[in-house]
Amino acid sequence: MKKDQLFTRRGVLLAGATAAVGAAGTAGLLTWGPGAERAAGPAAGAPARRLPLKPSAYRLQPLTGYGPPRSVSGRTPVRHEPLLKISGRGRTMVLTFDDGPDPRYTPQILDTLAEYDVRAMFFVCGEMAVYHQDLLGRMADEGHVVGNHTWSHPLLTTLTRKEIRREMSRTSEVIEEGYGERPHWFRAPYGAWNRAAFQLGSEMGMEPLAWTVDTLDWTAPGTRSIVDAVESGAGPGVVVLSHDAGGDRSQSVKALRRYLPHLLDSGYHITVPQRQYT
């Protein structure tokens, strides 16, 4: 798709995306455990797929309390809202990176996480992951969690149920091939969830995870701005949203190198979540 065509498409989708994000609803809580699973992030040269949303529209606010899931024995519950926070002992946080893997930025992020012996979550797009399965393998080897972020990063609220299923299932297959197991986590592009996404995610064994703090790094606001967003938003249970692909993510890489040691020095435990059925 040519650049001018892409921006035209974004303009058409803007109103729908804003409404969908605003309808995300009350957040659930996520708990931690020692046997946490692993997750992933876009590919080299991929076009940026972010809608030009205002920060207030793109950011989901941190809330607490479970949205009542319908649980079937042995199955992932069907939720009505994505999980936005985690609960647990102490000052526990999770770092998440979307849209990758990108060979320009993802390895640098993995290097920094390895330097501090920290695990994170990477929500990958299938069209990126299929060309960089070596990075999925590295994520698995280093204990990170890889989640499903659809194949092509579409606005799910504009797709049919069949199209949503294809976006999710193709990505899960690529993740299983490169990572070694199917993903247990799903994140809707743009934070735009609908009933079909929750239901299909449940059928595929995935929990929906959103975020508490949006760094807005996709707008390239400057390294200092990203660091400030993380450090000012830090707190027990916080889920941080950043990106390792979808554009120039050099600021995201530099910011991680600055805020990660500060978080650790402040007593935060950066880890990955374990699913808990309720």
Query: pLDDT tens digit string along 185-218?
Result: 999 999 999 999 999 999 999 999 999 999 999 9
Place of tokens 């990203």: 226
Q: What is the pLDDT of residue 97?
A: 98
The mean per-residue pLDDT over the stretch 83-101 comes to 90
Domains and CATH numbers, the chain: 32-45+78-270 (3.20.20.370)
The single residue of 102, 217, 243, 244 carrying the catalytic annotation is 243
**Can 243 be counted among the known catalytic residues?**
yes
Q: State what percent of residues in the chain have pLDDT above 90.
A: 68
Give just the sign of the alpha carbon dihedral 135, 136, 142, 144: positive
Both tokens assigned to 258:
């600055």
Task: For residue 138, give the amino acid letter.
Answer: R
Stretch among 87-101, 126-140, 234-248 having the lowest mean pLDDT:
87-101
pLDDT over 60 (residue 233)? yes
Backbone angles phi, psi at 4, to 5 degrees: -65, -35
The mean per-residue pLDDT over the stretch 143-158 comes to 98
Q: What is the pLDDT of residue 87?
A: 74
Both tokens assigned to 237:
């249970």
pLDDT band at 88 (very low <50, low <70, confident <90, very high): low
Q: What is the pLDDT of residue 34?
A: 30
Q: What is the pLDDT of residue 274?
A: 72
The single residue of 98, 99, 217, 244 carrying the catalytic annotation is 98
Residue-wise pLDDT tens digits, 122-145: 999 999 999 999 999 999 999 999
pLDDT over 80 (residue 159)? yes
pLDDT over 70 (residue 9)? no
pLDDT over 60 (residue 275)? no
Q: What is the pLDDT of residue 64?
A: 31
The mean per-residue pLDDT over the stretch 30-43 comes to 35
pLDDT band at 184 (very low <50, low <70, confident <90, very high): very high
**Helices in 116-239 by DSSP H: which ranges?**
126-129, 133-141, 161-179, 195-203, 223-233
Backbone angles phi, psi at 242, to 5 degrees: -135, -175
How far are the Cα atoms of 79, 166, 277 from residue 68, in angstroms, in the given order?
7, 27, 11
pLDDT over 80 (residue 32)? no
Chain Cα centroid distance, residue 40: 8
